Amino acid sequence: MSATCLRSRLLILPPPPPPPAAASSLRPRKAAAAHSLSSRGRRPPLAAQAVAPEAAAAEEGGLPAAEAERLVEFLREDLPHLFDDVGIDRSAYDDRVRFRDPITSHDTIDGYLFNIRLLKLLFRPNFYLHHVRQTGPYEITTRWTMVMKFVLLPWKPELVFTGLSIMGINPQNLKFCSHVDIWDSIQNNGYFSFEGLSDVFKQLRIYKTPDIETPNYLILRRTANYEIRSYPPFLIVEAKGDKLTGSSGFNNITGYIFGKNASSEKIPMTTPVFTQTSDDRLSDVSIQIVLPMNKDLDRFILCIA
């Protein structure tokens, strides 16, 4: 009889470049990771730059390279403070800044800041900035994840949004004059989007999930049909199978976690279970189960005949 070798190994999923700009470690969560941002000292205000006649004449050509880089770096530094005690730098925004997301609309800096304060009060949001890039002559686009816990409901549901923020720049004073959010989870991102409102209410529902250990992760992109996640390294036990479900490999690997290992120890159930194949002929099926983080790798290696 051939032998099936169960082996434990370290699974390292490559992190997406560049890493999020969150300022603390991941913690276990049911649906998405929630980091906390540390407060730092308030930054010097972004001084309004006088636009030289040459720059005004070349307005149609877009931001000078130095100004574009300055504003990109400013957002990288400023936006992680969106919901912490430091806050964003008000002086970087026009008094008539136009804000739109699928369910919110404001046309002044006061309304813009009120919306931030309201989210902070009701949802305890955590904001993760993934990248900042110039995408137009007077436009900078950011990609982000926002994890929010609605504290007014007894079950305190977590809502996750990922998407883009398109920041328009006033060429006359080089301040941000518009901020338009696009969510990955919906198609209709124009204000007012009933699809967006429905997405919010869906995430407020009660979900009963088993209290099973799962690796920490951060959702990088949440769409209507799938999620892209970033995981730190974690341990797995892996076996080869002959099909995606109900294979001998799956039976061997479940036997392994129920005591057929070198220490004869039952291993607590974890999620998720990874099943993958390298081609559509299912010629190389791999089944992987996550090991609890407190387990010693060398204690469990065993080959079963």
Say if residue 76 is in the same domain as residue 190.
Answer: yes
Say if residue 195 is in the same domain as residue 282.
Answer: no
Tens digits of per-residue pLDDT, 3-27? 444 544 555 555 555 555 544 333 3
Instruction: Identify the CA nearest to 11 among candidates 237, 271, 220.
Output: 237
Residue 68, domain member (yes or no): yes
Residue 5: both structure tokens together: 């070798």
pLDDT on residue 269: 86
Say if residue 194 is in the same domain as residue 100.
Answer: yes
List the alpha helices (DSSP H) in the chain.
Answer: 53-57, 65-78, 109-123, 194-203, 248-257
Residue 179 pairs with which residues in a beta bridge? 99, 167
pLDDT on residue 35: 40
Residue 63, domain member (yes or no): yes
Low-confidence ranges of the chain (pLDDT < 70): 1-60, 243-248, 282-283, 295-305
The answer to whether residues 243 and 299 touch, using CB atoms and an 8 Å cutoff, is no
Whole-number Å distance between alpha carbons of 164 and 173: 24
Amino acid, single-letter form, for residue 252: N
Residue 64, domain member (yes or no): yes
pTM score > 0.85 for this model?
Answer: no
Instruction: Identify the CA nearest to 125 among candidates 35, 217, 24, 220.
Output: 35
Domain count, the chain: 2
The answer to whether residues 261 and 7 touch, using CB atoms and an 8 Å cutoff, is no
Residue 210, domain member (yes or no): no
pLDDT on residue 174: 98
pLDDT on residue 59: 61
H or E element in which residue 230 lies = strand 227-230
Say if residue 128 is in the same domain as residue 89.
Answer: yes
CATH of the domain at 59: 3.10.450.50
Say if residue 155 is in the same domain as residue 280.
Answer: no
Residue 282, domain member (yes or no): yes
Residue 214, domain member (yes or no): no
pLDDT on residue 262: 79
- Domain with 179, as residue range(s), is 53-203
Among the three residues 159, 185, 203, which one is the final residue of a domain in this structure? 203
Using CA atoms, how far residue 283 sits from 2, 178, 238, in Å, is: 18, 53, 16
Whole-number Å distance between alpha carbons of 152 and 121: 10
Say if residue 176 is in the same domain as residue 255.
Answer: no
Say if residue 187 is in the same domain as residue 96.
Answer: yes
Residue 95, domain member (yes or no): yes
pLDDT on residue 247: 64
